[in-house]
């Protein structure tokens, strides 16, 4: 993180070339996160640009002792959610306990066929997961993206979401459960081993 | 095994690596002996694995370039605004310094002049009042005239 | 180079020379003649008198520098620099200078076609006609890239995203 910190310090001091270095360092991760949130690449591109302008506007108010990653993703998140609220007022809240018929984990039949992986099946499963991801509500997509793609620690995710650790964990669990449910309903009978 | 349910509830988070160490140990200990739960855990691990290996969408270079250009333009705007503010503060402060400094110097210069006209006129407060009034009058009228001119030009443009 | 030093170069060298001459030209008679004859200041020690005169008159240098800056800056921005310089000099309390900083035009741009300097406010280069600002396709007036419609004629502006829908 030391290199990022020095870039941030340079940017706050007014050195404009620190900006392009920061952008190159974060471009892929930031874009990927935005695509997961808004699902449309064209909108993600606009938000990508807006995020960096907002970073420039607020960098002097940023406390350098804080985690820059979490702050950057928070800025992007706020812009993305504002955008979603305006364009597609899909439900941005977490689904309630009765919103879908969730089986409790114990009710699910344990799979007992420890089959070996087939390469074709593996690719198929990967695309199934990717497709199922887009079906999930944005709140769930987000936490899965942050945990598995960005590989953020739970504490970092809590900072980005502005939520307590327990909320992050329960949201993570519920998003995985709904992901699994979605996979089962889209591809019934698929073997998930 | 009535902690099946408890363990099952933890398996999803286990695949996400989000459990506390004690919980992880409990889960590991349980699935060593329970093949059903072990199977469940493997399913979750598989899904987690796929999530970790999702293909990363790449931003097109044109998008990155444009983001950089706009952010740099905004950066320059902000720097310019900050500089402008600094200049104005400096000039206003310096104007006060000039006024205060010029007071004794004007007094030095005009003390002799007022003495020539009438010694009784050589009072500090008269000089001060005259000086200040002159300054405010000329400055004020210049400001008013200039703003009027500016407004006229804007309307014609 | 720091921003400050960059801006200092706008001041013509003549201004610094005039400033130095004024400084010496005013402090010397004051120090040699006016102060010793002043009822109050004449009683001060010589060093105190020297500090008073040479220290206080030092404000002349930044003052002349500011005037010089107004001259050089107004010139490079294509403004009426004679008028602004006179205002800066003669309006008391630096009000002329303050007004200048508030009202000054933006810096001219370099024309991408012929490399000449184009005054701010112009949409096309007077020499070669190349557009120096993004323009509306319908009426040709200047627009900004973030706008959705032209404010002069109402035409919808093309989307800037590389992926047009």
- ipTM of the prediction: 0.77
A55 touches B at CB < 8 Å: yes
pLDDT, one tens digit per residue, over C108-137 is 888 887 888 888 888 888 888 888 888 888
Return the top range by mean pLDDT from A27-31, B81-85, C114-118, C137-141.
A27-31
State the average pLDDT for chain C.
83
Under DSSP, is residue C80 helix (H, G, I), strand (E, B) or coil?
A: coil
B48 and B87 belong to one structural domain: no
pLDDT, one tens digit per residue, over C21-63 is 888 888 887 777 777 777 777 777 888 888 888 887 888 889 9
Return the residue in B7, B9, B12 with the most chain A beta carbons within 10 A, the one to mutate for interface testing: B12
pTM exceeds 0.80? no
Q: What is the pLDDT of residue A73?
A: 96
Q: What is the pLDDT of residue B127?
A: 67
B94 and B46 belong to one structural domain: no
Q: Looking at the domain assignment, is residue B113 inside a domain?
A: yes
Determine the CATH number of domain A115-186.
Answer: 1.10.10.10
Concatenating the DSSP letter of every residue in A117-129 gives: P-HHHHHHHHHHH
Confidence band of A93 (pLDDT split at 50, 70, 90): low
Return the residue in B112, B137, B146 with the most chain C beta carbons within 10 A, the one to mutate for interface testing: B146
Annotated domain spans of chain C: 3-105, 106-165
Q: What is the pLDDT of residue B2?
A: 61
Share of chain A above pLDDT 70, in %: 80
Poorest-pLDDT segment among A84-93, A102-111, C62-71: A102-111
What is the arithmetic mean of pLDDT over B61-69?
Answer: 91
The closest alpha carbon to A191, from A126, A107, A131, A121, belongs to: A121
Q: What is the pLDDT of residue B122?
A: 58
Poorest-pLDDT segment among A158-162, B20-24, B31-35, C35-39: C35-39
Asked if the model's pLDDT at residue A163 lies above 90, the reply is yes
Chain C CB contacts of B104 under 8 Å are 56
Q: What is the pLDDT of residue B4?
A: 79
Return the residue in B99, B106, B138 with the most chain C beta carbons within 10 A, the one to mutate for interface testing: B138
A2-87 adopts what CATH topology? Rna Polymerase Sigma Factor; Chain: A (1.10.1740)
Nearest to C91 among B92, B97, B138 (CB): B138
B48 and B10 belong to one structural domain: yes
B95 and B147 belong to one structural domain: yes
Residue C110 DSSP label? E
Q: What is the pLDDT of residue B112?
A: 58
Confidence band of B119 (pLDDT split at 50, 70, 90): low
Chain B CB contacts of C102 under 8 Å are 88
3-state SS, chain B, equals CCCHHHHHHHHHHHHCCCCCHHHHHHHHHHHHHCHHHHHHHHHHHHHHHHHHCCCCCCCCHHHHHHHHHHHHHHHHHHHHHHHHHHHHHHHHHHHHHHHHHHHHHHHHHHHHHHHHHCHHHCCHHHHHHHHHHHHHHHHHHHHHHHHHHHHHHHHHC
> What is the total count of domains within chain B?
2
pLDDT, one tens digit per residue, over B30-53 is 888 888 888 888 888 888 999 998
Nearest CA in chain A to B56: A32
Q: Looking at the domain assignment, is residue B20 inside a domain?
A: yes
Residues of chain A with CATH 1.10.1740.10: 2-87
Does the distance separating the beta carbons of A28 and B59 come in below 8 Å? yes
Does the distance separating the beta carbons of A41 and C162 come in below 8 Å? no
Does the distance separating the beta carbons of B91 and C98 come in below 8 Å? yes
The closest alpha carbon to C148, from C139, C134, C158, belongs to: C158
Nearest to A172 among B16, B55, B63 (CB): B16
B46 and B95 belong to one structural domain: no
- The residue segments making up the domain with residue B125 are 82-156
Asked if the model's pLDDT at residue A75 lies above 90, the reply is yes
């Amino acid at each position: 993180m030391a290199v990022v910190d020095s870039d941030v310090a340079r940017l706050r001091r007014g050195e404009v070339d620190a900006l392009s270095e920061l952008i190159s360092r974060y471009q892929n991760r930031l874009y990927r996160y935005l695509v997961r949130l808004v699902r449309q690449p064209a909108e993600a591109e606009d938000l990508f640009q807006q995020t960096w302008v907002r970073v420039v506007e607020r960098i002097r108010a940023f406390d350098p002792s804080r985690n820059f990653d979490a702050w950057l993703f928070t800025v992007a998140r706020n812009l993305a959610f504002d955008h979603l609220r305006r364009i597609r007022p899909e439900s941005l809240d977490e689904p309630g306990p009765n919103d879908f018929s969730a089986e409790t984990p114990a009710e699910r039949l344990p799979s007992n066929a420890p089959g070996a992986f087939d390469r074709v099946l593996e690719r198929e499963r990967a695309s199934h997961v990717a497709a199922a991801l887009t079906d999930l509500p944005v709140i769930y997509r987000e936490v899965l993206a942050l945990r598995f793609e960005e590989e953020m620690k739970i504490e970092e995710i809590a900072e980005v979401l502005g939520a307590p650790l327990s909320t992050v964990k329960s949201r993570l669990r519920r998003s995985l459960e709904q992901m699994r449910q979605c996979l089962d309903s889209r591809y019934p009978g698929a073997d998930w081993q | 095994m009535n902690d099946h349910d408890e363990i099952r509830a933890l398996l999803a988070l286990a695949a996400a690596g989000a459990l506390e160490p004690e919980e992880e140990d409990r889960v590991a200990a349980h699935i060593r002996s329970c093949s059903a739960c072990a199977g469940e855990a493997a399913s979750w691990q598989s899904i987690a694995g796929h999530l970790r290996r999702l293909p990363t969408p790449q931003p097109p270079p044109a998008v990155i370039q444009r983001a950089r250009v706009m952010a740099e333009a905004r950066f320059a705007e902000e720097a310019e605004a900050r500089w402008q503010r600094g200049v104005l503060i400096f000039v206003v402060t310096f104007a006060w310094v000039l006024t205060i400094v010029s007071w004794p110097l004007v007094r030095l210069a005009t003390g002799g002049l007022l003495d020539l006209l009438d010694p009784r006129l050589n009072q500090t407060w008269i000089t001060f009042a005259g000086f200040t009034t002159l300054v405010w009058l000329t400055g004020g009228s210049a400001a008013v005239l200039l703003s009027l001119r500016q407004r006229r030009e804007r309307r014609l443009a | 180079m720091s921003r400050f030093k960059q801006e200092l170069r706008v001041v013509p060298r003549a201004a610094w020379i005039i400033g130095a001459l004024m400084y010496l030209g005013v402090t010397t008679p004051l120090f040699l003649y006016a102060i010793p004859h002043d009822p109050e200041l004449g009683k001060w020690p010589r060093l105190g008198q020297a500090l008073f005169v040479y220290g206080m008159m030092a404000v002349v240098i930044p003052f002349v520098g500011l005037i010089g800056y107004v001259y050089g800056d107004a010139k490079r921005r294509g403004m009426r620099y004679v008028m602004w310089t006179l205002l800066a000099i003669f309006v008391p309390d630096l009000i002329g200078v303050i007004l200048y900083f508030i009202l000054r035009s933006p810096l001219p741009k370099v024309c991408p076609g012929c490399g000449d300097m184009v005054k701010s406010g112009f949409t096309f280069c007077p020499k070669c006609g190349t557009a120096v600002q993004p323009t509306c396709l319908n009426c040709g007036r200047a627009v900004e890239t973030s706008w959705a419609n032209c404010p002069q004629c109402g035409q919808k502006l093309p989307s800037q995203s590389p992926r047009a829908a």
